Amino acid sequence: MPRFGRVLTAMVTPFGPDGALDLDGAAALARWLVDNGNDGVVVAGTTGEAPTLSKEEHLLLIQAVRAAVPDAVVVAGAGSNDTRHAIAMTETVTDIGVDAVLSVGPYYNRPPQAGIEAHFRAIAAATDLPIVIYDVPGRTGRRFDHDVLVRLFTEVPNCVAFKDATGDPAGAARLLAAVPDLELYSGDDALTLPLLAVGAVGVIGVSSHWAAPELAEMVAAVEKGDLAHARTVNARLQPSFRYANSETCVFSQSAKAMMNVLGVEVGECRLPLGPAPDGTGARAREVLEALRG
């Protein structure tokens, strides 16, 4: 078993009708996710609308989730494009007692590779917790260089896992060949099977809000060498992957609509995302029907 498990959800952040942070809703959601096939949760990440949370909300959210699922893995988002702020957040979430820190690449300012490497080294030096480095160049504007990652994962003891949303399974295979003991997680639900095939240990997903059992089934099939069954499960998951993200309805919106359909009240997204488009709930029901009949 990988140290953080095989299937984790980058969970949405529940808000009330007035847009206020709903801590009771966050605790209930975390428990529901763990009870429905997840090994753990990632809190206050991109899907959790972290850029719209105040520092106080960010920390209260993590505390509430940690208390709600004491026996599950809780990974706390603590990234920033300001290294000093990322260090401060990392130090604070370390004191909360989470299992690991998710640290995304510096976004918007598009630093050079030397800056990216120095950024993660400084964050890792601020905590004794394991660090999950997150590369999502579609959001940050700068992909991490292969050699930078190799140095971080071989020279920095607590840089132990990689959330890969680069869309490049060949690049993942090259990285795993260079760092065979690296725990690499798919950060793109639709590419989970190709990444598993080259050595990923699991997925930090969004469709895992509602499809964690199927994703776990696919991971287990790959581990057993039953690629035919893994492909069958992957085919069953295709409507979920398509539903999760589009130009008109992004991850946080679609996941919240799905959870509301499932009776787990999480409210709507804050701006700039805003409420899910009309008809999203109906599409969510169609996805569930396609997934489980």
Binding-site residues for pyruvate:
47, 204
Sequence-distant (6+) residues with CB within 8 A of 162 are 132, 133, 134, 135, 149, 153, 175, 182, 183, 184, 185
How many other C-beta atoms are found inside a 10 Å radius of the C-beta of residue 224?
10
**3-state secondary structure at position 270:** coil
256 given a catalytic annotation: no
List % helix, strand, coil for the chain (3-state, nearest 5).
50, 15, 35
- Which of 55, 108, 134, 224 does the annotation list as catalytic? 134
- Cα angle 245, 249, 251 (rounded to 5 degrees) comes to 45
- Which of 163, 185, 243, 256 does the annotation list as catalytic? 163
Annotated binding site: 47, 204
Unique residue bearing structure tokens 């997150």: 134
CB 230 within 8 A of CB 196: yes
21: DSSP letter: B
Cα gap 27→92, rounded to integer Å: 20
189: DSSP letter: G
Report the b/e string of 134-148 with b at 16+ CB within 10 A: bbbbeebebbbeeeb
CB 62 within 8 A of CB 44: yes
- Cα angle 60, 272, 77 (rounded to 5 degrees) comes to 35
Cα gap 74→65, rounded to integer Å: 8
The tokens for 239 are 């409507």
108 given a catalytic annotation: no
Active-site amino acid positions: 134, 163
